[in-house]
Structure 1
Amino acid sequence: MEYTLAIDNTPDTVEGGTGILLLHPSTGATDRLDTDFLSTDTDAMLVISTRTTAREVEQKLEYYEVDESKATILDTLSVERGYTRRQSDGVKYVSAPDDLEGIVESTRTFLENHEGKLRISFDSVTELIYYADEERALSAVADILDLLEEYDAVGMFHLAQGVHDAETVERFREEFDGVIELTEDGTISSEF
């Protein structure tokens, strides 16, 4: 299955199973790229958030006019922070950002229970490393990339370039089929 990529300086389409690493400056405005990725050519989307709560993700989707009826949000922060949380069709929770098994299983459940063109956004791998550590984060990302392939889905994973050393960035780069780089001035380049 082919998926349209509506992002400047990237291929027009990518094959199902493609994992994309979005490298951005730590201050980079990634919301526009993320929502363009999610809303184009999509039957259902999963937004895994280790950086913001479900409420903040909902506000972002609404602001960028993404069809929220197609979205499932996996909130990894609210339980740990003690916020009120109610599971619903559109919002799922795991206990904490370092509950990597929960994140991978929730991803599998989403992919099993939806049909058609499926997209996943993981915002952010940087936070995952912060909460879990690099080795465990790398392992969880690899597991999710395997699921993308198994279910013919595509995913975009955020990594703040300035926060990590070159070796860490390179280790994650090697896992992905494509890399999109966003610079401080908003220039986009890609390698697929």
Structure 2
Amino acid sequence: MDYELAIENAPDSVPGGTGILLIHPSTGETDRIDTEFLNTDTDRFLVISTRTTAREVQQKLEYYGVDETKADILDTLSVERGYSRRSSDHVHYVSSPDDLAGVVDITREFLTENEGKRRISLDSVTEMAYYADDDRALEAVAELLELLESHDAVGLFHLSEEVHDAAVVEQFTDLFDAVIYLDEDGTVEADF
């Protein structure tokens, strides 16, 4: 199954099982790329947020006109920070951003329970590595990429280049078949 992409300078479509790494500066405006990715050619999508709460994700989706009826959100922050949580069928929580097994499990459930074209956005791998560590984040990303492949889904994974050593960025890049580079001025380059 192929998935359309609405990302400038990237191919028009990618096959199911593709994971895309979005490398961006820490001040980079990734919301546009993220929401275009989620809003195109999709039956269901899961936003895994290690950077913002479910409520902030919902506000972002609404602001960019993304169809929220297709959304599941995995909030990794609210429990640990003691924020109020509104449970629903489509908002999930893990105890903390370093509960990587929980993140992988909920992603597996999402992909197993939903049919059709499914997309995942992980915002962000950088935060995941900050809370866990680089090695555990690499393992979790590798597991998520395997899930995408086995369920014929696609994913977009955010990585803030400036925060990591060049060797760590290279380790993450090596896991992916497709990489998008977002410059500070908004220029997008793609390597597929």
Which residue number in structure 2 is paired with residue 34 of structure 1?
34
Aligned residue for 2:86, secondary structure, equals: coil
1:87 is displaced (CA, Å) by: 2.2
CA-to-aligned-CA distance 1:140-186 (integer Å, 9 cap, x gap): 00000000000000000000011111101000000001000000110
For 2:189 and 2:93, locate their aligned partners in 1 and report how far apart those are by CA, in whole Å.
34
What CA distance in whole angstroms lies between the structure 1 residues aligned with 2:87 and 2:14?
Answer: 33
Distance (Å, rounded) in 2 between the aligned partners of 1:44 and 1:101: 22
Structure 2 unpaired stretches of 5+: none
Paired residue secondary structure (1:45): strand
Task: Note if 1:8 corresponds to 2:8.
Answer: yes
Provide Cα deviations, 1:60-88, integer angstroms capped at 9, x if missing partner.
Answer: 00000000000000000000000111321
Name the counterpart of 1:139.
Answer: 139
Normalised by the length of structure 1, the TM-score is 0.99
Specify the SS of the correspondent of 1:96. coil
Q: TM-score w.r.t. structure 2 length?
A: 0.99
Aligned to 1:24: 24
Cα separation, 2, equivalents of 1:26 and 1:162 = 7
Aligned to 1:22, what secondary structure does the other structure show? strand
Partners of 2:150 and 2:11 lie apart in 1 by: 22
Say whether residues 1:176 and 2:160 are aligned partners.
no
Alignment correspondent of 2:61: 61
Instruction: Quote the sequence identity (%).
Output: 69
CA distance in 1, matches of 2:113, 2:39: 19
* Alignment correspondent of 1:50: 50
* Alpha-carbon distance in 1 for matches of 2:167, 2:69: 39
Corresponding residue number in structure 1 for 2:72 = 72
Partner of 1:93: 93
**Alignment of 1:82 onto 2:82:** yes
How much has 1:90 moved relative to structure 2?
A: 1.9
Matched positions, count: 192
Deviation sequence 1:77-119 (CA, Å, 0-9, x none): 0000001113212210000000010000000000011000000
Amino acid in structure 2 at the alignment position of 1:115: E
Structure 1 unmatched ranges of 5 or more: none
Which residue identity is paired with 1:96? Answer: S
Q: Distance in 1 between matches of 2:51 and 2:83?
A: 15
SS at match of 2:156: strand
CA distance in 2, matches of 1:40, 1:6: 7
